[in-house]
Structure 1
Amino acid sequence: MTLRENDPRSVGGYRIEARIGTGGMGVVYLGRSVSGRAVAVKVVHARYADNAEFRARFRQEIAAARRVSGAFTAPVVDADADAERPWMATAFVPGVTLADRVTDSGPLDWPSLRRLGTELAEALREIHRAEVVHRDLKPGNVLLLEGGSEDGAVRVIDFGISRAASSDVRTQTGIVMGSPPFMAPEQFSRPREVGPAVDVFALGAVLVYAATGRSPFEAENAYLAAYNTVHSEPRLDGLPVPLRPLVSACLAKEPERRPTSGEALEMLTALPPRLPGREDGAGGPGPVRDPARERGARPSPGPVTTPTVPPASPAPPSPESGPPGRRRHRGKLWAALAAAAVLAAAAAMAVRSDHAPTSAAGTGGTADARAASRDVPSGWKPWRYDPRADADENSGIGPACTPGTLGVFCSSPRVALMRLDPATGRVDWTKPMVGAQPHTFSLSRPVVHDGVVYAAAADRSEGIDAFGAGTGERLWHLDGPVGTYAYLSGVLLVRLDQPGPSDTARYAAYEPRTGEELWRRKLTSGSANPFHAGSRGILYADLRGGSGGIARLDARTGRTLRTLKAPQGDLWLATVHDDTAYYARWEGGTGSSAALYAQDLGDGAIRRIDFPWSVTPEAPPLVHGDVMYVFDYDNETLLALDLKRGKPLWTSSRSLRVFSEPAVHGDRLYVLLPDTSVLALDPRTGEEIGRTAPAFDTEGRSFEELTPSELPPLRVGGVLYAVTEPGVFSVADVR
């Protein structure tokens, strides 16, 4: 675009050559430095230069762009927020916007669409790691590089209305910032409270646009588009089937139901490089398969209504029972809550990444969205893996496995890590232990998160190795010996000291992908694993037994932000959810609990919730929305509690022996049964939806000989993965 009469000929020493575009806050020019370097110079409109609000917002844009500059954005070269007309210069990136590309050439083919989604999700992950929220991701702010180099084909530009998570600058009253129809519902209803989830919503909308040439909430004008976004289900017709589960999850109305940008990246990298039936991988989505219809109608199992009245109080536990760390249960006590942290992270990931959009009334998404979210991937067939085949003859220990969206990852006495293909169950690759002798130390399950797998070091130093989940490439190594480790609030948290008689230990936090040490500190706690994940980069540390109370920490720096007084008594901090701590109260050291205490970690307020009978919540309970699901190990019973009313909702039938922790995925709650079948329940009523066939033959083994699973079933799309004592298996979801 040629320069206009009133356009500047020089800004900040940069010679202005042409207009690139005009935005809501200013004009973007093509400029040249003294050395001839091409830059994009953004100059705030004159009418906004004297407005303190917009000047502050422009300072935010400069700060945000500088924080996330790198492989996914245009790096900031120079800026002056105090100039008469504030300006910012970034490296000039030759290319076209996604909006122009679709307008000129039509929707993207599958390989281009898959690459766009992967690189966009990776860009958002880095933006969110820098604690920045873009808030205006749209096709016009996605730049496609000319040629699509090996260094990436996508750049995210224009941080004009972005803000740091800690920023105090807020949207003015009555002004909605963003670009319908790529804005999330909360940007219309509560714009002061938006977080990274709005960018994930926009990612889903941008992918629909790239695949179909329209927004999922397309309308005649911005007002109708805003209405559709808040009240209507997205239009996903024309979207390739493999993308529908992810896009449906991204476009969920409630932000807490959406995947994080890292989880979206993990789902996108797992997509097939080619569409089924297309040799070149290009073209449109093709017809939508309905596997249920292809198989013919299946008989619907009659629902089993669970009692709403709690069962009679069971006999008291044996005297050897006690709080976690001091008691032994045949159901395999969590030796360290790190395993529970992995479980919680995996469950949360699956909940968000598979959940279809829900209406304002919370009744679920469209039938099309629900069906698409349960499609099985191309090439998948039910499989099972018997760990006894890889067990060490002398130790008798088989692999410890953790399922994830990119595969099932197992460690054994002789193998540091191996990946089972999620479609076939075959071993894809292995990382053998150094030397011929098996492990001499405790075997722990691999930790899987955000495309990285953490496992016991292959050099037998009792350290940690980090591997890429897809390729098995070792990313970094931490020398041992170390204690437990877990992924919490965006960092890998490691106990540097081995468990011992002292309650004081050293802890360190590491950058998950690089192994860079972020901080380390020593603290005293009566808990073997005192850390719990909070919201948006917050950690909570249980300091009871030391300085006392619950400390709120910055996960990236380890700095203590505040400390709250904890409830008094013999309480176990069972879990933290939505910045609320839930404590189980032990009865005279028996390990059974008569009540639960919920503490708001904002104001410190505490309330008691009585259990209907004495339960044994040996592992952390699952909190989903306003409901807590507690697995009572002593009774093999699942209890659902309404946390708002403090009342039991339902309990599973006493004739139905639950054999694992529960997991909620979409509109279903899943548990394992002793015969290695997966049971699906309605999480609101406890009614049975259906169950899968047993994966392993447990005939001839008594109930007492079997061990409950430490992990709940994981659902990815229309496939369930489960880890049981007899082995690991994958089956189609209950229809």
Structure 2
Amino acid sequence: MTLREDDPRSVGGYRIESRIGTGGMGVVYLGRSASGRAVAVKVVHTRYADNPEFRARFRQEIVAARRVSGAFTAPVVDADPDAERPWMATAFVPGRTLAERVDETGPLDWRALRRLGTELAEALREIHRAEVVHRDLKPSNVLLLGGEGDDGAVRVIDFGISRAASSDVRTQTGMVMGSPPFMAPEQFSRPREVGAAVDVFSLGAVLVYAATGRSPFEAENAYLAAYNTVHSEAELGELPEPLRPLVSACLTKEPENRPTASEVLEALAGLPEELPGEEGRAESSPIPVTTLSGQATLPSTGAGTTRPKRRRKRLLTGLVGAALLGVTVAASVAVVADDPASTVGEADQAGRQATGPQATPRGSTPPGWRPWHNALEPEKDEPMSIGPACTPDALGVFCSSAQVALTRLSPSTGRVDWTKPMSRKEVSSFSLREPVVHDGVVFVSSADRAQGVDAFDGRTGKRLWHLDGPVGGFEYLSGVLLVRLDELGLSDTARYAAYEPGTGEELWRRELTSTSASPLYAGPEGTLYADLRGGSGGVARLDARTGRTLSSVEAPQGDLWLATVHDGTAYYARWEDDTGVSAAFFVQDLGSGKTRRVDFPWSVEPEAPPLVHGDTMYIFDYGNETLLALDLKRGKPLWSSSRELRVFSEPAFHQGRLYVLLPDTSILALDARTGKEIGRTAPSFDTDGRSFEELTPSAVPPLPAGGVLYGISGQGIFSVADVS
């Protein structure tokens, strides 16, 4: 749907492109992140923004969606419940809703219906394990992804009226939240007492709708539908016979008599894959294996290339602090040095220490260093908040949060060396950026909360200089600090300036027009590259100290994301149908302008820029949870990591090795030429008993520095010995 005159053109730094739909809570837009990724941005209706009860419920929606983001939901990318109009951004999941599918092509056949029920039951099982109740499961909140007839993998969306089972936020007296005729009876009669059983009831109603095109409590209006739900028996219509007993059990009036989602899943697994007389139809209308993007999985031409049936939580690209959501850096407690004198028990100590060669650091280590980990627990009575965003460096780990402008954790012990407070001044909006560290200087969002820039000496904590805000972003490239002086907004044209990192002296400023929110890249020998597509249409080479244009080349045509620039070469990913899945890269020499195409043997999801070293490109494929190495000269894959590894972070390259973080907070070292495992560290945190989907991913690669490795995960920050 096209944008209306009063629709926003930018929300939270995401460029708004079109409307996706409108619901009771707000409007959902298709937006575009700085890297070019599509996101779905839900913006709350103005009439609700001043309602404290609503804001509390919207905050709960965000918490609930974060807790269950994974194989069956659209992961939360960003959110601001305190904005003038609260909003939340999730990964954009292309596909038709079940309501659209049934409306356009009619009820599902048996195979599609059985698959739908199985995946919905599995989704509810995972949602309920996270102690969340959806409370609004209906055909328009069920996405069918890809393939003929859109009968592919299922995603449950819109946790708009969900709540965690332990939440203190309660429905207002007299207010019924949900969507008749797919609500359970208790949602009308006792809405304060609803539990997981309401989702099972809704599952039964959705299956009847998918099989017949009608709700089991269909009526002329919502009021009659509510009455039917509470007082009348379900109308099952043409529901296939094998499903009738199970669906009837789901639609039982009393919640305690309904099966659990796990029991529904088990019952569905026992049903026949084909109904008598339908084998021929099934063969002529197969349900394809699909990827999250809706693209059919290509035949495997290398190890570990098949799309898994279940997906990991996807990274919150560009939001490093999301790896540690909900804690503050006010405390230096919970720091454990892995030595016999620490407070860790002997059994726990034995389980955490690496054995054999893993315990021997490669090269010199910081003075007094021992393995440590810091859970960054909040101090007593400290409010929960977004953050911190942390950046490891050889000087230590630097973190920022909404409460603390900057703190440094000691590289030797993990304890807080010093802290710079954040102003408590109330502001209309505040976005957290991870610290940028280079050559002993740390750049962070300004402590006055005005979205400016502060530069600190990373050794002493002394503030070196300050730049007033608001600014749209900052990064260190080619010896200068580059700052977008204009906030992200409607225009593709913005002012940029370069500053001397140590003194804050302005070196130059100029206006650039680009469709990219971050158009500048490091070049060789004190130069920059500027992606000016949307303006002059090419890629320009600039002098980093003066901002003067030295040369330019025409960019290749098409819907391409300039993923990275390395050693005078630009690497563009081509999106497949605006999905974030890429089957090819275009490699352009920025001196001559010559471009060549490198095709992948399967479609990948490069959610972050690839790592290029020499003639090899390393890509983290989020869809298959594998690390790929491609020979850029021959355009052929070299190797891919095993799916059993379940890679968890972007890779880091150091001295011929690749380092990646695994879900159990161990760090894996791979030979960069062959992909073979060299070794791995022992886990730094106890993750036993937690499933892969329950663990929070990290957007920060491990940092090898000074003979040790630094890592950031959802459990906290740690430092371990490099593997030998």
The alignment partner of 2:643 has SS state of coil
Query: 1:398 matched to which residue of 2?
Result: 387
1:596-645: per-residue Cα shift (whole Å, max 9, x none)?
11100111111111112100111011111211110011221100111121
Query: 2:206 matched to which residue of 1?
Result: none
* C-alpha displacement of 1:395: 4.5
Residue of structure 2 aligned with 1:560, choices 544, 549, 558: 549
Amino acid at match of 1:620: P
Query: 2:307 matched to which residue of 1?
Result: 314
Query: 1:666 matched to which residue of 2?
Result: 655
In structure 2, the CA distance between the partners of 1:615 and 1:539, relative to structure 1 (3 Å rule), is same
1:115-165: per-residue Cα shift (whole Å, max 9, x none)?
xxxxxxxxxxxxxxxxxxxxxxxxxxxxxxxxxxxxxxxxxxxxxxxxxxx
CA distance in 1, matches of 2:564, 2:370: 36
Is the 8 Å Cα contact of residues 668 and 679 (structure 2) preserved in structure 1? yes
Residue of structure 1 aligned with 2:641, choices 632, 647, 652: 652
Residue of structure 1 aligned with 2:624, choices 597, 619, 635: 635
CA distance in 2, matches of 1:464, 1:689: 41
* C-alpha displacement of 1:378: 3.2
In structure 2, the CA distance between the partners of 1:729 and 1:440, relative to structure 1 (3 Å rule), is farther
Q: Does 1:464 align with 2:453?
A: yes
Q: Does 1:332 align with 2:316?
A: yes
CA distance in 1, matches of 2:541, 2:438: 23
1:343-422 correspondence to structure 2 within 5 Å? 374-389=363-378, 394-422=383-411
Q: What are the ranges of 5 or more consecutive residues in structure 2 without an aligned counterpart?
A: 1-299, 324-359
Query: 1:485 matched to which residue of 2?
Result: 474
CA distance in 1, matches of 2:380, 2:474: 24
Query: 1:499 matched to which residue of 2?
Result: 488
1:443-485: per-residue Cα shift (whole Å, max 9, x none)?
1110000110001111112111101111111110000011110
Query: 1:582 matched to which residue of 2?
Result: 571
1:129-148 correspondence to structure 2 within 5 Å? none
* C-alpha displacement of 1:308: 8.6
Amino acid at match of 1:406: L
1:640-719 correspondence to structure 2 within 5 Å? 640-719=629-708
Is the 8 Å Cα contact of residues 313 and 614 (structure 1) preserved in structure 2? no
1:551-606: per-residue Cα shift (whole Å, max 9, x none)?
11111111111111011111100001110000111001010000011100111111
Is the 8 Å Cα contact of residues 391 and 397 (structure 1) preserved in structure 2? no
In structure 2, the CA distance between the partners of 1:335 and 1:401, relative to structure 1 (3 Å rule), is closer
Q: Does 1:511 align with 2:511?
A: no
In structure 2, the CA distance between the partners of 1:621 and 1:724, relative to structure 1 (3 Å rule), is same
* C-alpha displacement of 1:310: 4.1
Amino acid at match of 2:395: L
Amino acid at match of 1:661: E
Q: Does 1:450 align with 2:434?
A: no
CA distance in 2, matches of 1:309, 1:423: 42
CA distance in 2, matches of 1:461, 1:688: 46
* C-alpha displacement of 1:700: 3.7
1:677-709: per-residue Cα shift (whole Å, max 9, x none)?
100111111111111111112234332232321
Query: 1:535 matched to which residue of 2?
Result: 524
The alignment partner of 1:465 has SS state of strand
Amino acid at match of 1:670: Y
Query: 1:151 matched to which residue of 2?
Result: none
In structure 2, the CA distance between the partners of 1:528 and 1:391, relative to structure 1 (3 Å rule), is farther
Amino acid at match of 1:331: L
* C-alpha displacement of 1:728: 0.8
Is the 8 Å Cα contact of residues 362 and 723 (structure 2) preserved in structure 1? no
* C-alpha displacement of 1:385: 1.4
Residue of structure 1 aligned with 2:422, choices 433, 438, 455: 433
Structure having greater relative contact order (Cα 8 Å, sep ≥ 6) = 2
Query: 2:604 matched to which residue of 1?
Result: 615
1:298-351: per-residue Cα shift (whole Å, max 9, x none)?
xxxxxxxxx992444538999xxxxxxxxx9832122699x9xxxxxxxxxxxx
Is the 8 Å Cα contact of residues 319 and 434 (structure 2) preserved in structure 1? no
In structure 2, the CA distance between the partners of 1:413 and 1:560, relative to structure 1 (3 Å rule), is same
1:172-222: per-residue Cα shift (whole Å, max 9, x none)?
xxxxxxxxxxxxxxxxxxxxxxxxxxxxxxxxxxxxxxxxxxxxxxxxxxx
Amino acid at match of 1:330: R
Is the 8 Å Cα contact of residues 385 and 728 (structure 1) preserved in structure 2? yes
Q: Which moved more, 1:374-383 or 1:440-449?
A: 374-383
CA distance in 2, matches of 1:706, 1:372: 27
Is the 8 Å Cα contact of residues 320 and 389 (structure 2) preserved in structure 1? no
The alignment partner of 1:387 has SS state of coil
CA distance in 1, matches of 2:424, 2:478: 36
Is the 8 Å Cα contact of residues 306 and 624 (structure 2) preserved in structure 1? no
The alignment partner of 2:700 has SS state of coil
Is the 8 Å Cα contact of residues 320 and 700 (structure 2) preserved in structure 1? no
Q: How many residues align?
A: 388
TM-score, normalisation: structure 2: 0.51
The alignment partner of 2:686 has SS state of coil
The alignment partner of 1:681 has SS state of strand
Query: 1:133 matched to which residue of 2?
Result: none
CA distance in 1, matches of 2:374, 2:453: 25
The alignment partner of 2:449 has SS state of coil
In structure 2, the CA distance between the partners of 1:393 and 1:592, relative to structure 1 (3 Å rule), is farther
Is the 8 Å Cα contact of residues 374 and 716 (structure 2) preserved in structure 1? yes
* C-alpha displacement of 1:386: 1.3
Q: What are the ranges of 5 or more consecutive residues in structure 1 without an aligned counterpart?
A: 1-306, 319-327, 340-370
Amino acid at match of 1:333: T
Residue of structure 2 aligned with 1:624, choices 613, 634, 645: 613
Is the 8 Å Cα contact of residues 538 and 554 (structure 2) preserved in structure 1? yes
TM-score, normalisation: structure 1: 0.50
Is the 8 Å Cα contact of residues 363 and 706 (structure 2) preserved in structure 1? yes
Is the 8 Å Cα contact of residues 413 and 438 (structure 1) preserved in structure 2? no
1:480-500: per-residue Cα shift (whole Å, max 9, x none)?
011110000111000111111
Is the 8 Å Cα contact of residues 487 and 493 (structure 1) preserved in structure 2? yes
CA distance in 2, matches of 1:391, 1:400: 21
Amino acid at match of 1:622: L
The alignment partner of 1:655 has SS state of helix
CA distance in 2, matches of 1:391, 1:652: 43
The alignment partner of 1:419 has SS state of strand
CA distance in 2, matches of 1:317, 1:522: 45
Amino acid at match of 2:302: V
CA distance in 1, matches of 2:711, 2:487: 30
Is the 8 Å Cα contact of residues 520 and 558 (structure 1) preserved in structure 2? yes
Query: 2:716 matched to which residue of 1?
Result: 727
In structure 2, the CA distance between the partners of 1:703 and 1:336, relative to structure 1 (3 Å rule), is closer
Is the 8 Å Cα contact of residues 362 and 721 (structure 2) preserved in structure 1? no
In structure 2, the CA distance between the partners of 1:579 and 1:549, relative to structure 1 (3 Å rule), is same
